[in-house]
Every structure is written in C-alpha cells, then in structure tokens.
Amino acid sequence: MDKRILLPTDYSKNALNAIRYAQQLYAKVRCDFYLVNAFQASGYTLDSMMVPEPGERFYEMAKHESEEGMNRLLEILKLHPENPKHRFHTICTFNGLVEAVKNIVASKDIDIIVMGTKGVTASKARIFGTGTVAVMERIKACPVIAVPSEYVFNPPKEIVFPTDYKSKYKEKEIDHVKEIAKLHDSKINVVHIDRDKDGQLNKKEESNKLLLQDILDGTDYEMHFLTATKTSDGINLFVESKGGDMIAFLNRRHLFFGSILSNPLVKEIGYDPKVPILELNDN
C-alpha cells in the first residue's frame, strides 16, 4: 500500500502542522512525501510578459530563499523520530501554487495532497485559505486533505460522510475513505441531512443509498438520518455529538457549477473547519 503524498508548504506553522498530520495519518504505510514550495520573484507576476530567467538577480534571490526555507524545514523534521517507512523529496519551483501542484501530481503520480487551511498571510476572517480552496477547486486528479491550523493529530476513529443521495457513487471515489478507515479502525458515519423534514427518499435516492452500502460493505459503517434547516448545522451538530475526527465529502463537478464554493458544505463550514476535511473528487 505504498503512497505518494504531496505536501505543499510556504514554511508556515500551519503548513508544518499539516505535514505532521500526514506523517501520523500514514505512519504505518510506506510513503514517498514530496515537499513542494512554489516561489515567485519579487517584482514579477506569473501573468506578466516579463518572466525572470535562471541566473537573473531576482530569480536567484527568490530561489535561494526558497531553498534555504526547505533546508530549515528538513532540519525541523529531523528533530522527530524518523519513520523508516517514510522518504522525503524536496521540490522548489518558480510557479504559482496551483500550477506547481498540478505539474507534480501528474509527473510524480501523486495519490493524495495534504495541506494546511491557511498560510502565512491568512486572516482570521478567512480561515480556509485561498490557496487551499484553489487547489481543491482545480486539482481533479487526486483527493485533498485540508488540516485546520493548530489541529492536534487524533486518529480518525469517527469519519463523518455527509450525502444527499442525489447522485451515484463509484467505488474509486470512496477508496480513500475506506483506506483511512481500515488503517485506523475507523467507523464511517454516513449522514443524510433532510432539509425537507419529510424523511422520505425517492426511488433514485434509495437506489443510490443501496449502491453506497454495497461499496462500503466490509467496513465499519452506519447510516444516519438527521433533520436540519441547514446542511452545515446538521454536520456540525453530528461532529460535536459523535466526536467526529474527519469530514469526508465528494466534490461533484458540474458543468455550470464547477466551483467548490458552490458546495453548501464547504461554503458554510469549510471556512472554519474544526476537524480535517477530506475532499474527494468525482472521476
């Protein structure tokens, strides 16, 4: 069960916390971790007609600063006991975050991305950082785990999986949830929030529910039904009452509604997550 895991870093405390979370989440798994820092040169923008070339002063200054940061990060990581199952690789690249991530996901065949929810410049008003949202919106090839700032690792014994049963699931989409559940003997809590309060599923929804049960067969799971006027209220209430350690959700990408920000779960609770969020992609 070897994993290739991408860990974007801006050398912030939050980014380091996400790296620690990934190390502990996959402590029993042979992993290749790819630490990536996407740097830009002072005075240049990525969409500018003028792009600094290697050898030019501003490029070399930015590259040096990025590499120095990476060396410091490696020294910090060495302070903790080394896991013989884990190997680290470093990448410092002149690029924007999303493009850098997209390129590395493709070239290194990355299985999953783990990153913090905010970086150095994050404001308290927007806890779920723009970089994290951008990666979740635009990287479709693999899932993303977003780790809240200063979240202390807790084995995800209770995984909350909200659903509206409106679309079919595929086994490949749910594999990452099942894998984490098996690693940590987790229980998957499938939570259907009923906003109409009639308690009824139509034929299509009932069929999708049965399909999801087939996919989850062999794991420890339980189906729940809650009534709430807002999806986020129901999820937050469930997480608090059951002690949820992770929220997993499928980010459906529709032709006209492709933005993660249109997803009510992310819009309402994603900006201030209390537990790590595993965003799955439809394939």
Q: What are the domain boundaries of the chain?
A: 3-147, 158-281
14-28, 143-157, 249-263: which has the minimum mean pLDDT? 249-263
Is a pLDDT exceeding 60 seen at residue 268? no
| Of residues 87, 70, 51, 50, the one with CA closest to residue 10 | 70
Within this chain, domains 3-147 and 158-281 share the same CATH topology: yes
Q: How far apart are CA 101 and CA 114, in angstroms?
A: 11
Sheet containing 144-147: give its strands across.
Answer: 86-94, 31-39, 3-8, 112-116, 144-147, 277-281, 246-251, 158-163, 187-194, 221-227
Q: What is the CATH topology of the domain spanning 158-281?
A: Rossmann fold (3.40.50)
User: Residue 250 has what pLDDT?
Assistant: 84
Average pLDDT over residues 153-181: 91
Give pTM, 2 decimals.
0.88
- pLDDT at res. 207: 95
- Please, which pLDDT band fits residue 49 given cuts at 50, 70 and 90? low
Position 69 scores a pLDDT of 96
Say which CATH class 3-147 falls into.
alpha beta
Q: What percent of the chain has pLDDT over 70?
A: 80
Task: Output the DSSP codes for 149-187.
Answer: TTPPP----EEEEEE---S---HHHHHHHHHHHHHTT-E
**Does residue 249 register a pLDDT over 70?**
yes
Is the pLDDT confidence value at 128 over 60?
no
**Range ranked top by mean pLDDT from 108-117, 160-169, 228-237, 274-283:** 108-117
